[in-house]
Amino acid sequence: MQIYLPIAELSMNLFFLVGIGGAVGFLSGLFGVGGGFLLTPLLIFSGVSAPVAVASVTGQVVAASTSGALSYYRRGQIDLHLALYLILSGILGAFAGVATFQVLRASGQLDLVISVGFLVLLGFVGIVMLIESIRAILRRRAGIVTREKLPNQHNWFHKLPMRVRFKRSRLYISVIPVIALGLGIGFVGSVLGIGGGFILVPALVYLLRVPGNMVIGTSLLQVVAMMAATTILHAVSSQSVDILLAFCLMVGGTVGAQFGASAGRYLRGEQLRALLALLVLGVAIRFGLSLVLAPADIYSTAVVGAGI
């Protein structure tokens, strides 16, 4: 069943769109991360232009993360004070990211920057996660018990000036790394169409030492607010948000996430991280190949309208 996507300006199979949304939703529920860093590449590989893929996925990320954020809020597992700093800095980063997005699009360099950005970002994250998960698996098999650092144990980040007390997380730390983290994720998320949860969660745990029961909820709230602002900015500035495309992805993602969350109960944490790392590296390698291999159709023709 073919449907026409007005902003993407192409026809795609409805069941295919719902299917990839469901597949990414399943992986999101399985691994506990947002699916933007997987969904955006899949759309690009399927023929959707990079600007439309990036802008449309932001709406899907908002929908997929809202229910989770509400659930954590009801359980009191969100540090609203910490989230406020992350949200405000993230929105500022999103403004800068959307402006950069527009400049790159106008200069014809957006596709290249997105490919290189995914290659570097996913390659780095995938390698780090794979090394860490393999070490954890080997330690478990050898029966080695390692002591984790306490969530509120401080490091050099916490010694910076402008300290603020975050009561819910039992932290008294500098807001400089918090603001820098929000700015960076807001910028990268708006340019690449990712929520940034797979970056924010480890940063909150290992850098800021936020207690584990506050990490996921606080991260989800920041992702919802930042990506909602990014969606509006893209819709207003570049008109690249395809509502029909985003809706199809939302439907599949919502259903797939429920099955993924159930399946995740049967795997250990280090096994899940290893599988996710392999998946992330696979996407990074695919982007790397697209940069070095010649396309099947080197030349293309298109109708250029007035003012373009």
% of the chain surpassing 70 pLDDT: 80
> In sequence order, which residues have a C-beta less than 8 Å from that of residue 264 and are 6 or more positions away?
29, 30, 31, 32, 272
> Is 279's pLDDT higher than 70?
yes
> Is 300's pLDDT higher than 60?
no
Q: Tell me, what's the pLDDT at 154? A: 55
Residue 307 binned pLDDT confidence (cut-offs 50, 70, 90):
very low
Q: Tell me, what's the pLDDT at 264? A: 57
- Average pLDDT on 174-195 reads 84
**pTM given for the model:** 0.73
Residue reference for tokens 């947002």: 34
Low-confidence winner among 75-84, 152-161, 233-242 (lowest mean pLDDT)? 152-161
State the chain's mean pLDDT as an integer. Answer: 77
Quote the CA–CA distance of 116 and 302 in Å, as a whole number.
25
- Average pLDDT on 60-77 reads 75
Tens digit of pLDDT for each residue in 16-57?
A: 888 888 887 777 666 656 677 778 888 888 888 877 888 788
Q: Tell me, what's the pLDDT at 185? A: 87
Give the three-state DSSP class for 226.
Answer: helix
Low-confidence winner among 54-58, 262-266, 278-282, 283-287 (lowest mean pLDDT)? 262-266
> In sequence order, which residues have a C-beta less than 8 Å from that of residue 286 and are 6 or more positions away?
41, 45
Higher local confidence (pLDDT), 192 or 179: 179
Q: Tell me, what's the pLDDT at 295? A: 58
> Is 304's pLDDT higher than 50?
no
- Domains of the chain, residue spans: 2-292
Residue 306 binned pLDDT confidence (cut-offs 50, 70, 90):
very low
Quote the CA–CA distance of 151 and 13 in Å, as a whole number.
47
- Average pLDDT on 186-211 reads 78
Residue among 190, 198, 230 at smallest CA distance from 216: 198
> Is 151's pLDDT higher than 70?
no
Higher local confidence (pLDDT), 48 or 253: 48
Higher local confidence (pLDDT), 101 or 296: 101
Which residues are paired to 22 by β-bridges?
none
- Average pLDDT on 234-246 reads 78
Q: Tell me, what's the pLDDT at 92? A: 92
Residue 173: exposure state from Cβ atoms within 10 A (0-12, 13-18, ≥19) = buried
> Is 97's pLDDT higher than 70?
yes
Spacing of C-alpha 301 from chain mean position: 33
Residue 308 binned pLDDT confidence (cut-offs 50, 70, 90):
very low
The pair of three-digit structure tokens given for residue 209, joined into one six-digit string:
């030492």
> Is 305's pLDDT higher than 80?
no
